[in-house]
Structure 1
Amino acid sequence: MNNPLLTNELLPRFDHVRTEHMESAIDQILSDNRMQIQNLASQPDPTWDTLAQPMQGLEDRLNNAWSVISHLNGVMNSDELRTVYKNCLEKLTEYSTELSQNTELCNAYKKLADRDDFSGLDEAQQKAINNTLRDFHLGGVDLPPEQKTRYADLKRELAELSNRFSDNVLDATQHWQRHITDASELAGLPETALAGAAQAAKQRDLEGYLITLDFPSFYPVMTYCDNRALRRDVYEAFVTRASDMGPDAGTWDNTPVMAEILKRRHALAQLLGFKHYAERSLATKMARSEDEVLGFLNELAKKSKPIAEQDMADLQAFARETHGVEELEAWDIGYYSEKLSQQRYDISPEALRPWFPVDRVVPGLFAVVERLFGVQIEAQPEVETWHPDVTAYCIKRDDETVAWFYFDLFARQGKRGGAWMADCRVRWRDMRGHLQLPVAFLTCNFTPPVDGKPSLLTHDEVTTLFHEFGHGLHHMLTQVEVAEVSGINGVAWDAVELPSQFLENWCWDPASLALIAQHHETGEPLPEDMLNKLLAAKNFQSGMQMVRQLEFSLFDFRLHAEFEDTAPTNPLDMHRQVRDEIAVVKAPAFNRFPNSFSHIFAGGYAAGYYSYKWAEVLAADAFSLFEERGIFDPETGKAFLHNILERGGSQEPMELFKAFRGREPRVDALLRHTGITPQAA
């Protein structure tokens, strides 16, 4: 039987993937690629068809194998898979660095770009070649030999350190648990959370209830549990994960890992001629300078902090006057915020859950997308997957399949926390004219069905699902046939959140909610009074939420921009400094948030977490056009599809945005949508 990692089938064969095949598959591909790259680079007169197109094929074959390994490592983690992943990561990092520093290959691309007929290539082809030449420079191709070696060492060490950071967070998250046999200790928890805790205990052959740090368990405790001591314990365990503090102090401590990551990032940036890693990060983003990013974040903070301070003052007054709590601690914020929200709006996330069963929300999401973009989405139950919870779907346009995706929606042991979209396969057309269709992995960590009852989502979780599907649409609905700029490939990182945050808006409109919300027992739509309360509560504590995200963004960017060799920045000190300047919630001394901030230490957001807010401006302004014309206006939906989703990274994001909106983005819509206005202040 052919190794499933090496086949060119429409979809990967997860039913036959085995860890013993994975590393040998990667070894075979890397060996083949190296041999063919040597021949491609040495040709005297390279063209698109003789250089760029074959290179796409080599990289795509590698991506199709690696995407399966990388994904399974995140959703079906095991000791065997970790070993394979780590070994392959080392080899891929070495290969990637070797490729980016291949002077002969770089010169071949320069010859291609200098050809008289270069302007005859289409827009996507030209953009792909220009990006490739940029990336050669950022990969160290211009460095002298000894500095190339240093660069390669730094890249290899950074890959290993980031992987270690991620493993430490996963191990720390999944190790801690609290076994409870007396239900009174969990007073206040909703039935859904109690059922989930009981099921978690049962799965481990325990009586009673089990509280873990997985979000579906952690969040209800922090929001509803009357037991303040338990809230404190769970909070402490969560914010001290992978650190020198807390119940597992020192066991999976990421403190030295962070220090080594920052030191190597700074050295890598300076090797390439940048002042610091933040400047290196901006080389591939929309934002043009350090001052522009900091000015953007600080201006938002200036507008938001007065609102946040009022939010906090209201919460403190409420806790004091109604519950006699003189001083709010960090583990009290979610609990009393929920009670204040209920008092003001007479609604809670738990009260809304019955109207958001997964088996209604998912078809509702599909109905929204189908109306907006003229596609059809169909389940493919015959497709083999890696877990019984996972379902495969195809997207069709005019009865022709254009993409595939997998939904893996529920939390489980061995699965990394959070929610994300990853590409499995990218759309591109090979030299024989064969069109490979895009395939996406869409992953969440919702509470699974319990005792035959469906999984019921909070409205926040519904929003998360829409967010990730927005990323998926960007990847899947592209019409670009050049792999390097197809879908999300080649899109500036601070624009990549535009489609995801844009799609969240359909979680708040009455017309789209009618497609999403339906009571899981009665089939009734969301009652009008509950809908009105949900909409009224939309901007509850929006100031506090805004400054929290700005805190993360400023911490990340300043951490990388202010790093110095002579006096390396301590992430904890930088985090405290930023918190003191912007936060309105006081954090305890044991808080070690940076130690589990995987976005920047194990993900792609280093010196780029600001991208969430940057893209949120784009998303809010884009949605404002639908507000003007109707949220299901077919022409506006078609314009967003053609100018944003279909174009991928084939053109600069500002030009694509202007083509859709008719002008450059404005911040007004974001401030209006979030209630951050002078009137609110």
Structure 2
Amino acid sequence: MKKLFLTLALVTGAWQTCNAEAPAAQVTIGEQEPHPFFRDALLPAWSQMTPEQLLVDARAAMEEARKRRQTLLQVTPETATFDNTFLAAARINAQLQQVQCYMMHLMNVASTPELMQAQATMQAEAARFQAETAGDSAIGHLLEEAARAPWAQQLSPARKRYIEQALKRRQMGEASLSPEQRKRLAEINKEIRRLSLQFYKNLGNSRNTWELEVTDPDMLDGLPERWREKAAKAARAKGIGTDEKPAWLITQGNAHEVLTHCAVEETRRQCWLGTSTHCQENEALIYRTMELRHECAQMLGFRNYADMQAKERMTGSGEKALAFVDKMLNALKPLYDAEIDAYLNRLGQAKGEPITKLNPWDEAYLSHRAPAPATPGFDSGQLTPYFETERVLRGMMEIWEHLLSIRITEHPTVQLNHGEPCPSGKVEVWHKDVRFYTVHDTSTGCHLGSFYLDLYPRRGKRGDGWTTPIRFGHEGEPHLAAMVTNITPPGHPHLLNHGDVYVIFHEFGHLMHMLLGHPELPEHHAMSVERDFIEMPSQLQEQWIWEPEALATFATHHKTGEPLPAVLARQLAESRQNSPVSDTMRMLRHSKLDLEINLYFHEKFKGRPLDEVAAELLAPWQLPYSAPTPSDMRTVHHTMNPGYAASFYTYIWSEAMSMDAFSRFRKEGIMNPATGADYRRCILEPGGSKPALELFRDFMGREPDSAAFLQRFGANQCPPDSKIPTR
């Protein structure tokens, strides 16, 4: 996302673009800025971004966009330049995009009912505004003429790439359609949105409406008293059962405990049927969506929707994405088969009889009684005393300061009420717990970027973790981003588990990508890289949390200061090597089905039950169940999300790319600053100014390979051709 705003506190040492240090300067303005949601300044004034101001600024931004469009249309072939055509077209809606980015950020970190209402109003108005110029043919003709001009042939490679990208997007978008086709496309998109909303509504309803009433306490044998008390209370709240004749209510919310702990097979069977076979009505919605996606893709000149999604990705086509998934499925199958054999043997011992076909309702119950063997003597909880929050954060930053030749400095912050001036030397934040840092190049002193750090959960803040760009700097200006997590709230001492450390390192990878990218054009920022490459830096930087050499920089006992014992560091690495392949196979199965249905809906799916087709396509890589298991496509949000459609494979794709890139660090030294300098120069700094495949080749000196990814699972036999298929 892009975000800009008023600087109330200007720490000049932090903000002079290429000055290492300077005294702090105070900005004491407390009155309301005219348009805080899109004012072009280095730091935002969060306290001035009220719900009322959101609507004022959004409307002003839309009016400014109309003026910019009219200015662009005054350009003639004789007066055309790159800046007044292609860049001007790219930035018509820049202020509106800034408003939307600030709005979404605040919705994620400081949501209120008033802001939600203002967002709904603003989004409706923005949709109507964007419909005004959808498929603007006049601008399209102007850009096509400009691209043919002699000056366009003399531009830098980055600008030539941008022209090619801009024309391709227009040719593959609404601008290439007739008025009748644009009308039909609008109808298609409207219907797809309606189908998606119904899909999510059905999903929510099924979670809220399915229930199983139990009146015989013997049917709940094995469930703890705590569960029974809550289930009885839920039943009474619905008028079911009495104190004398109690009843218990099983719902989507408590069914997992039933499947895991209930000793009565019939109860588990009924529970599994209710929880796994819901949302049958979503199948028709999925099929209709696939019909519409296919029509949309063909209208825009593609064979199918998967190819349309892949047009600006490393794969280049849906078939190549599917080839990658199939290659990974087949390469991991021997390991998976051995794992399944051991798994069924373990469950059979728990059941007291051999298992060749597993009842799906028995799986959680038996797995709980026969857990997978762990690394001998290792419990990940043993690591927690060595992961004190401040030491982890400082150690992580020290690793990347060393590898990337940067300096990270924290600055004082303040949360302001509306209208309050910002004290000298402080940076305004949206919550008192948010921290602020600047990033400088150690050799030049240049200010590369800054970031907010929002670590802890609270009311009004979205769950999970993410990193969002707030402002991509123009012409050498520093970038601004926010790294947001929901790790365990502060305590005494404030300790993290290994999962928390993973989240922090992963998100910091995104942060470095956003802040250290300095391409020629701001439009080629880090988030403009191909979607199947965007997770590569974050997944690469995860790798350090498993390495003893890296752990030594931040894993020290919170009481004694002693470093993490070598035996624990070794066991942690071994636990990863011994991690089950089944989780990855589950993602690969879903990736395959996602691609197959978006590639071959008419050939393989239309007119046939979804479960039947899914069972055929995935049979070689499924557990041998005794009963048909429904496809999870009916209940997975990605199915109907256009951002993930025909794209679920990118999770595994980027992991394979990152493991391959890490193999160079492993070979040359994970703390080798020369390798880190190459990583910064080849991967981080160019942003999207070059194709991702070129970035990867520049760093690795060869094509991407899946061998390191497969060897992570202990696959000694890699495919004869382990190269990752690209365009």
SS at match of 1:403: strand
Residue aligning to 1:509: 547
Residue aligning to 1:623: 662
**CA distance in 2 between partners of 1:29 and 1:138 (Å):** 27
Is the CA contact (8 Å cut-off) linking 1:470 and 1:500 kept in structure 2?
A: yes
RMSD: 4.1
SS at match of 1:428: coil
Is the CA contact (8 Å cut-off) linking 1:389 and 1:408 kept in structure 2?
A: yes
Please point out which of 51, 64, 75 is paired with 1:43.
75
SS at match of 1:515: coil
Alignment of 1:314 onto 2:352: no
**CA distance in 2 between partners of 1:100 and 1:127 (Å):** 24
Is the CA contact (8 Å cut-off) linking 2:391 and 2:554 kept in structure 1?
A: yes
**CA distance in 1 between partners of 2:36 and 2:395 (Å):** 34
Alignment of 1:347 onto 2:347: no
Task: Write out aligned runs for 1:480-559 (5 A).
Answer: 480-489=519-528, 491-559=529-597
Task: Write out aligned runs for 1:471-486 (5 A).
Answer: 471-486=510-525
1:352-392: CA deviation from partner (whole Å, max 9, x where unpaired) = 23323433322222122112111122333413333444333
Which one is further off, 385-394 or 461-470? Answer: 385-394
Alignment of 1:32 onto 2:73: no
- Equivalences, count: 632
**CA distance in 2 between partners of 1:373 and 1:167 (Å):** 46
1:440-471: CA deviation from partner (whole Å, max 9, x where unpaired) = 2333343334x6552522x2342233222222
Cα 1:494–1:661 change in 2 (3 A) is: same
Write the letter of the residue equivalent to 1:267. Answer: E
Cα 1:595–1:419 change in 2 (3 A) is: farther
**CA distance in 1 between partners of 2:343 and 2:129 (Å):** 54
SS at match of 1:549: helix
Is the CA contact (8 Å cut-off) linking 1:428 and 1:486 kept in structure 2?
A: no
Write the letter of the residue equivalent to 2:496. Answer: L
Please point out which of 331, 348, 371 is paired with 1:303.
331
Is the CA contact (8 Å cut-off) linking 1:501 and 1:619 kept in structure 2?
A: yes
Give, in angstroms, the shift of residue 579 of structure 1: 4.8
Write the letter of the residue equivalent to 1:129. Answer: I
- The structure whose Rg is larger is 2
SS at match of 2:428: coil
Cα 1:145–1:349 change in 2 (3 A) is: same
Unaligned runs of 5+ in 1: 178-182, 188-211, 430-434
1:599-625: CA deviation from partner (whole Å, max 9, x where unpaired) = 453362221121222222322221111
Cα 1:176–1:148 change in 2 (3 A) is: same
Cα 1:40–1:554 change in 2 (3 A) is: same
Give, in angstroms, the shift of residue 322 of structure 1: 6.3
Residue aligning to 1:132: 166
TM-score by length of 2: 0.76
**CA distance in 1 between partners of 2:664 and 2:55 (Å):** 49
* Identity rate, percent: 26
Give, in angstroms, the shift of residue 238 of structure 1: 12
Residue aligning to 2:310: 282
Alignment of 1:269 onto 2:297: yes
**CA distance in 1 between partners of 2:433 and 2:627 (Å):** 39
**CA distance in 1 between partners of 2:51 and 2:192 (Å):** 24
Alignment of 1:420 onto 2:420: no
Residue aligning to 1:397: 441
Unaligned runs of 5+ in 2: 1-31, 212-222, 228-250, 414-426, 720-727
Please point out which of 328, 331, 348 is paired with 2:364.
331
Write the letter of the residue equivalent to 1:441. Answer: A
**CA distance in 1 between partners of 2:352 and 2:299 (Å):** 58
Residue aligning to 1:197: none
SS at match of 1:147: helix
Write the letter of the residue equivalent to 1:401. Answer: H
Give, in angstroms, the shift of residue 228 of structure 1: 5.3
Residue aligning to 2:675: 636
Write the letter of the residue equivalent to 1:331. Answer: A
**CA distance in 2 between partners of 1:235 and 1:425 (Å):** 53
Please point out which of 359, 384, 394 is paired with 1:363.
394
**CA distance in 1 between partners of 2:206 and 2:484 (Å):** 21
Give, in angstroms, the shift of residue 49 of structure 1: 2.3
Residue aligning to 1:380: 411
Alignment of 1:7 onto 2:39: yes
Give, in angstroms, the shift of residue 312 of structure 1: 2.7
SS at match of 2:483: strand
Cα 1:261–1:79 change in 2 (3 A) is: farther
SS at match of 2:372: helix
TM-score by length of 1: 0.81
1:324-346: CA deviation from partner (whole Å, max 9, x where unpaired) = 69768443587468x4343x432
Residue aligning to 2:49: 17
Cα 1:347–1:168 change in 2 (3 A) is: farther
Give, in angstroms, the shift of residue 70 of structure 1: 1.9
**CA distance in 2 between partners of 1:236 and 1:618 (Å):** 43
SS at match of 1:620: helix
Give, in angstroms, the shift of residue 159 of structure 1: 5.5
Which one is further off, 574-583 or 21-30? Answer: 574-583
Give, in angstroms, the shift of residue 473 of structure 1: 1.8
SS at match of 1:584: coil
Write the letter of the residue equivalent to 2:379. Answer: S
